[in-house]
Amino acid sequence: MSDVILSVEALNSFYGRAHILFDVTLEARRGEVVALLGRNGAGKSTTMRSIMGLIANRSGSVRFAGHDISRRQPHEIARLGLGYVPEDRRIFTDLTVMENLEVGRQPARTGAPHWTPERLFTLFPNLGDMRDRPGGRMSGGEQQMLTIARTLMGNPSAILLDEPSEGLAPRITEMMAHAIVGLKAEGQTVVLSEQNLHFAALVSDRAYVIEKGRIRYEGAMAALREDEEIRSAYLSL
Amino acid sequence: MGFYVVQCLSGLAQASSLFLVAAGLSIIFGVTRIVNFAHGSFYMVGAYIAVTLAERWAGGFGFWGAVAIAAFGTGLLGVVLEMLVLRRLYRSPELFQLLATFGVVLIVQDAALAIWGPEDLLGPRAPGLEGVVRILGRPFPKYELLLIALGPLVLGLLWLLFNRTRWGTLVRAATQDREMTAALGINQTWLFTSVLFLGSLLAGLGGALQIPREAVNLHMDINIVVEAFVVVVVGGMGSVGGAFLAAVLIGQLQAFGILIFPQITLVIVFLFMAVVLVVRPHGLLGRPQALARAAGNQQEPLLRPATPAGRLVGAALLAVLALLPALAGDYALTVLTEILILTLFAASLHFIMGPGGMISFGHAAYFGLGAYGAGLLVKHFAAGMLPGLVAAPLLAAGGALLFGWFCVRLSGVYLAMLTLAFAQITWSVAFQWQAVTGGDNGILGVWPDGWASPRWVFYYLTLACCAGGVLMLRRIIFSPFGYALRAGRDSPLRADAVGIDVRRIQWLAFTLAGTFAGLGGGLYAYAKGSVFPNLMAIPRSVDALVMVLLGGVQTLTGPVVGAAVFHTLNTEMVRHTEYWRLLLGVSIIVLVLVFPMGIAGAFRRRERAA
């Protein structure tokens, strides 16, 4: 198979004294879309935050694009080309759309798609119509697009996308799925976390299922869709 | 008419100076979330450097060159502060940051004393701007006109910097959400360093520009930092535009206030701040602070009642304290008496800071009110000690009841600033109301009754009151009232939802803390034999904060340990060296860096790990 760009091995994370992740192991290959599925509180966001270095209390090996990033600071990880889109969007509400994009801007990177505001506005047409609007005066769907666009401004070679469909209207969810498929077409590696199996199935090649901080399943997305037992054990409400 | 115009103009000139300093403070707070006490010290250093250089280099270039170099040099000093101290503290509780910057204040004070000496220094006039112009027939200094123009100019430049440059965009982003900014690949280390440079540069510029207007002295630092805090809080923390608006309003208030109420000029500004904060709790142009998203958010450790072993240690400590008069000499007993009083004072502050979650910068007000409660009875009614010791906590309780009503409406830094404002108001009343309080001369002859005058008797009296007070505060912490107080601290919303009236509980706690501080103040008055306004001054409030923080906010033994360590350090240092502030400042910084959880907190942690 093609080369592995992100590999996580035996990742353990803690909030204070609470042990949240237990030996999480997963990987993503260049150009593929990988879904991390699980219920609320299963450990999806914690996995992403730990990979990104946002949880200081962690152990295990995390390698990205040939670097050991398990002890790096978040900004160093981002500069190596790993983008992160948080679940709660975290738009800078005082900054305009263009200024939000400016914060994310990093130099072009070889081997990764090069993004400019203009190119991003073709991916997310709504944003192009509100360049000078403050982030605080945008709808949830618009903010969701802006947060992805902002991360892409760093020209990442892979992005961690935490629950991109959460809390969005069906029409916007559909646009989001289109955007992710568009990213994949650009050759962008994407790791996304989802509770929504349907959404994940639309865009992903492979899937991991996480439950109570442990990876319970790993396989092709298509295989997971067929696997009634796994779905009902770990994913249904 | 001309008179009022000129008065208004000098208010504007004053506003510009204030704005420069306050803008720097506001910018630093906005990004680092650190309330930088040392900002006033940078202002002072800027003024000293400018005076020194301007004297050496005569002429037009000399003066302006001196101002420019002073500003730049002060900016560099800010960089040093950031790299050596603040950088290590971004994840510490905000009080520790505050304490560390206060340590810097002490160090700079002594450094300035060593370099420039205790005398006031007079700077040269600005070349070309020595004269006056006539405005509606009244003379007005040309230099002041320059200052008036400078305020809006700097405001405009800052606006451009923050809204038209990548640096400004990044700073605004980091102000709102540090973690997200980092996750987007922004190295905030240099961002913070550069912000400290800019903020300190503005403070240094403000100080340097003062040299033609006023003498440079060693008291400039605290005076200006308090004024700048008021401006920043009134304008809204982190809002540069708000700081400008507030500076203009306060400049006018001072210019005209002095005509109408010359007796209470000190009070007017703080009253204004109190009114603004009650009406707009986040300042004129401020917005509610988003919770600073830092990676270091940690939960408060749980307070637990003493274990049997802990009780034993406590009882042993009491026994030792009770036996000491047999062994210790008079001097040692005097120092011990003071430590006991300070322990009660610290414990009372700890009560609202730890379990209450309310930071007070002005707790000395209640200590002082207690002392005056005793002193005034002696002065006006020739009352004995026992009525004095009853009046002390009562007067303090009255003050705390009144001020607390306002304070509990706010939270965080705003609450802290309001407590400081009330302390300053109380201080100015004591200072300026000569007829009743004796003003600066204080009240003398506040001695214990005959039976209590031997050192050891007074020591036992103090031990009984202070140990009793501390134990009572502990008892309250583990009563239903204490649980409600802590619930309100941890989650006001949830506490509200289960039917706790959080404000009322906090108000009551504030009053209780004031009462016990007042008892301490009353004892202190009799121990010293006198009462002076400086009992309520800012340094005294800071002493209390240092004691609580040294001990550790979230430990019950903290205030006891903190008071003992602090007072011993303080007494020993004053005895042995002229530069005790320097030593104290360095010790505070080292302690903060080594024990981020306080001394008692560090021991408890070790105990648990073992």
CA–CA gap between residue B82 and residue B104 (Å, rounded): 11
User: Of the candidates B170, B182, B295, which has its C-beta nearest A56's C-beta?
Assistant: B295
CA–CA gap between residue B355 and residue B424 (Å, rounded): 25
Mean pLDDT, residues B133-162 taken together: 93
Cβ–Cβ below 8 Å for A73 and B182 = yes
Q: CA of A22, closest CA in chain B: separation in Å?
A: 21
Q: Looking at the DSSP assignment, which residues form a beta bridge with residue A84?
A: A160
Please count the other Cβ atoms lying within 10 Å of the Cβ belonging to residue A63: 16
**Given CB atoms, is B319 within the 8 Å cutoff of chain A?**
no
Cβ–Cβ below 8 Å for A74 and B179 = yes
Helix boundaries (H) for B219-329: 220-235, 240-260, 265-279, 308-327
**Given CB atoms, is B239 within the 8 Å cutoff of chain A?**
no
Number of alpha helices (DSSP H) and beta strands (DSSP E) in chain B: 25, 4
**Given CB atoms, is A74 within the 8 Å cutoff of chain B?**
yes
Cβ–Cβ below 8 Å for A154 and B185 = yes
Q: Averaging pLDDT over each range in A179-183, B63-67, B203-207, B455-459, which range is the top one? A: B203-207
Confidence of residue B294 (pLDDT cuts 50, 70, 90): very low
B11, two tokens: 């208010």
More confident residue, B292 or B423: B423
Confidence of residue B149 (pLDDT cuts 50, 70, 90): very high
pLDDT at position A168 over 80: yes
Strands, E assignment, B311-456 = 443-444
Average pLDDT, chain A: 92
Closest CA to B534 of B372, B334, B343, B389: B372
pLDDT at position A56: 83
pLDDT at position B100 over 90: no
| CATH 3.30.1490.480, domain A4-235, yes or no | no
Assigned fold of B2-279: ABC transporter involved in vitamin B12 uptake, BtuC (1.10.3470)
Show me where the domains of chain A are located.
Answer: 4-235
Mean pLDDT, residues B71-97 taken together: 88
Average pLDDT, chain B: 87
B39, two tokens: 């900002």
pLDDT at position B293: 36
Residue of chain A nearest B173, judged by CA positions:
A92
User: Of the candidates A74, A92, A104, which has its C-beta nearest B177's C-beta?
Assistant: A92
Cβ–Cβ below 8 Å for B185 and A150 = no
Q: CA of A232, closest CA in chain B: separation in Å?
A: 35
User: Of the candidates A55, A90, A106, which has its C-beta nearest B185's C-beta?
Assistant: A106
**Given CB atoms, is B170 within the 8 Å cutoff of chain A?**
yes
pLDDT at position B300: 56
Mean pLDDT, residues B563-569 taken together: 84
Q: Cα separations (Å) of B344 from B54, B271, B351, B427, B528?
A: 50, 29, 10, 21, 16
Show me where the domains of chain B are located.
Answer: 2-279, 309-548
CB pairs under 8 A between A and B: 65
**Given CB atoms, is A134 within the 8 Å cutoff of chain B?**
no
Q: CA of B484, closest CA in chain A: separation in Å?
A: 24
The pLDDT tens digits of the residues spanning B461-516 come to 999 999 999 999 999 999 999 999 999 988 888 998 999 999 999 999 999 999 99
The pLDDT tens digits of the residues spanning B233-271 come to 899 888 899 999 999 999 999 888 888 877 666 678 878
Q: Specify the pairing of strand A33-37 against strand A58-64.
A: unpaired
CA–CA gap between residue B356 and residue B591 (Å, rounded): 24
More confident residue, B333 or B199: B199
pLDDT at position B155: 96
Rounded to 5°, the CA angle B183-B188-B194 comes to: 155
Q: Looking at the DSSP assignment, which residues form a beta bridge with residue A192?
A: A35, A161
Cβ–Cβ below 8 Å for A92 and B185 = no
pLDDT at position A1: 44
Closest CA to B360 of B98, B585, B569, B86: B98
pLDDT at position B301: 59
CA–CA gap between residue B65 and residue B61 (Å, rounded): 5
Mutate to test the interface with B, among A103, A143, A161 (most CBs of B within 10 A): A103
Confidence of residue B295 (pLDDT cuts 50, 70, 90): very low
The pLDDT tens digits of the residues spanning B271-285 come to 888 888 888 888 888
For residue B186, which residues of chain A lie inside 8 Å, CB to CB?
75, 103
Mean pLDDT, residues B341-359 taken together: 91
pLDDT at position A29 over 90: yes
Rounded to 5°, the CA angle B519-B522-B524 comes to: 110
Please count the other Cβ atoms lying within 10 Å of the Cβ belonging to residue B340: 28
The pLDDT tens digits of the residues spanning B388-420 come to 999 999 999 999 999 999 888 887 777 887 888
User: Of the candidates B172, B184, B295, which has its C-beta nearest A154's C-beta?
Assistant: B184
Closest CA to B395 of B415, B380, B375, B409: B375
Q: Cα separations (Å) of B503 from B246, B407, B437?
A: 28, 10, 33
The pLDDT tens digits of the residues spanning B369-383 come to 999 999 999 888 888
B408: three-class secondary structure by DSSP: coil
Contact B467, B475 (CB under 8 A): no
pLDDT at position B302: 65
**Given CB atoms, is B180 within the 8 Å cutoff of chain A?**
yes
User: Of the candidates B170, B182, B299, which has its C-beta nearest A74's C-beta?
Assistant: B182
pLDDT at position B263: 67
pLDDT at position B570: 80
Q: CA of B167, closest CA in chain A: separation in Å?
A: 9
Contacting residues for B79 by C-beta, under 8 A, at least 6 apart: B193, B196, B197, B200
pLDDT at position A44 over 90: yes
The pLDDT tens digits of the residues spanning A52-102 come to 999 988 899 999 999 999 999 999 999 999 999 999 889 999 999 999 999
Mean pLDDT, residues B360-377 taken together: 93
More confident residue, A32 or B310: A32
Residue of chain A nearest B91, judged by CA positions:
A56
CA–CA gap between residue B476 and residue B482 (Å, rounded): 6
Q: CA of B65, closest CA in chain A: separation in Å?
A: 36
Contacting residues for B61 by C-beta, under 8 A, at least 6 apart: none
pLDDT at position B601: 65
CA–CA gap between residue B107 and residue B113 (Å, rounded): 10
A176, two tokens: 């989001």
High-pLDDT (> 70) share of chain B, %: 94
**DSSP classification of residue B440:** G
pLDDT at position B610: 45
Q: Cα separations (Å) of B175 from A45, B184, B400, B448, B480?
A: 24, 14, 34, 54, 39
